[in-house]
Homo-oligomer: A and B are copies of this chain.
Amino acid sequence: MSKDFVKDVTSMKDDFAQWYTDVVTKAELIDYSSVRGSMILRPYGYAIWENIQKELDSQIKQTGHENVYMPLFIPESLLQKEKDHIEGFAPEVAWVTHGGEEKLTERLCVRPTSEVLFAEHFKNIIHSYRDLPKLYNQWSNVVRWEKTTRPFLRTLEFLWQEGHTCHETDEEAHEETVRMLNVYAKLCEEYLAIPVIKGQKTEKEKFAGAKYTYTIESLMHDGKALQSGTSHHLGDGFAKAFGIEFTNREGKLQTVQQTSWGFTTRIIGAMIMVHGDDRGLVVPPKIAPTQLMILPIAQHKEGVLDFAYDLKDKLSKTVRTGIDASDKKPGWKFNEYEMKGIPLRLEVGPRDIEQKQVILVRRDTGEKQTVSLHNLETQVQEILNDIQYSLFEKAKTHRENKTTAVTTFDEFKNQLVQKGGFIKAMWCGDEACENYIKDETGATSRCLPFDQEKISEKCVCCEQEGKHLVYWAKAY
């Protein structure tokens, strides 16, 4: 392909951060604005989010949850009701102090998350065990006052869903916490083709106000980890602070057990960094706004355009199909849809029409094949399925190659420098060791995986017993 047509992207190997910035802007996922640290989600970026939303919303409803909408603002006194929570969030909230010309008597924070708003509402509407469980979800924007920001990964404002539930017992809340983590894991693996490690966050890394936090962690192409979704068992911390009580089956007053769980636009950053390459984005078919793009070749010749549009109508029944019949040069078009990571390209010209065939080109492998019109729909579907599968397998292999079990701290440091990725190592459970590792290596504890193994006797950092297997990594 002639260099003239190419929107240049920095090579991943040369500068991964610059590669990322190039891809998010040149694939037209986002644009910057004069609002520091915020991003504009452009049509293509938002369409990917809509597809993720649609699938996740359907899963959330199928698991019995109802959507609601809470206010954007939280009065300062309300945010302060749960001590751990305010401590965790106070440094990173935006404060509204004036409404119109008038100074407010109480500051309002722009929600960084909505536990306290849900808690106040739950107190109003829950009275008896008959009112439980309450299974709510909200789609919304939230704001966290980050100093350094990056599109999708860390922005002042982001879009997400936050689930909030109340239960009769600790056990039920635990089951819910697991259930929703599994919904997230399935979405990542089956739709976004991103393999995840499920596990528990350490005390230090758990959500401010939670009893414990479950997480799914994924690994980016550059060997850094990304927290991809979290599910918190809140215990009765908020419930006690807000007095969310109900008359139980024995006729006694009891405090509810709560959970909360969230999934954000951040995952689009993960999708980019797991599947992308030096030609741009690679979007998994299940989540792609356009799964197949038709490019008519020599379209000025008689019959080509009609044929291409007929094909589009036919394929649109089973596949999200686009067509570019503009007068732009073929090279520009090839480059553009590769940059946008559209899974499959279909080329059709006069000779193909004559021979009752088309050319299909895979975005992930670049593989070209000539396919008979006779069984085109079946072939397209099969190739899309294969792309979906291959992307997941490739990402999984990459993660496995970048996961190293170590038993000594020297090994830990060496492997992290040489290979990056996940370091599996035993930990005594002491926060001092966790902090030491972070300070010395830059790696943080990602999670205590649900699949625990004992790979050595001692903590990788001290002489104490190694109680937990931990995945460590540098992370976004």
A→B interface (CB under 8 Å): 31, 33-35, 38-43, 46-47, 49-50, 66-75, 78, 90-101, 107-108, 110, 117, 120-121, 124-125, 136, 140-141, 143, 145, 156-157, 159
Contact of A40 among B35, B68, B97, B108 (CB under 8 A): B68
CA distance A175 to B447 in the complex (A): 56
B34 touches A100 (CB 8 A): no
Task: List B contacts of A101 (CB < 8 A).
Answer: 91
A38 touches B72 (CB 8 A): yes
> Who on chain B is nearest to A69 by CB?
B41
Can you list 6 A-B pairs, Cβ within 8 angstroms, ordered by A? A34-B120, A40-B121, A42-B68, A46-B67, A72-B110, A100-B145
**Given contacts A68-B40, A136-B43, A96 and B99 within 8 Å (CB-CB):** no
Contacts A41-B69, A71-B156 known; list 12 others, CB within 8 Å: A33-B71, A34-B120, A35-B78, A38-B71, A43-B66, A47-B66, A69-B159, A71-B157, A91-B100, A94-B99, A97-B98, A140-B141
Contact of A157 among B72, B93, B125 (CB under 8 A): B72
A33 touches B120 (CB 8 A): yes
CA distance A68 to B121 in the complex (A): 31
Most B-side CB within 10 Å, residue of A66, A96, A110, A117? A96
Task: List B contacts of A143 (CB < 8 A).
Answer: 72-73
Task: List B contacts of A70 (CB < 8 A).
Answer: 33, 40
> Who on chain B is nearest to A36 by CB?
B75
**8 nearest A-B pairs in the assembled complex, by CB-CB distance:** A38-B71, A43-B66, A41-B69, A99-B145, A95-B98, A35-B71, A100-B145, A97-B97
Contact of A68 among B46, B78, B90, B141 (CB under 8 A): B46
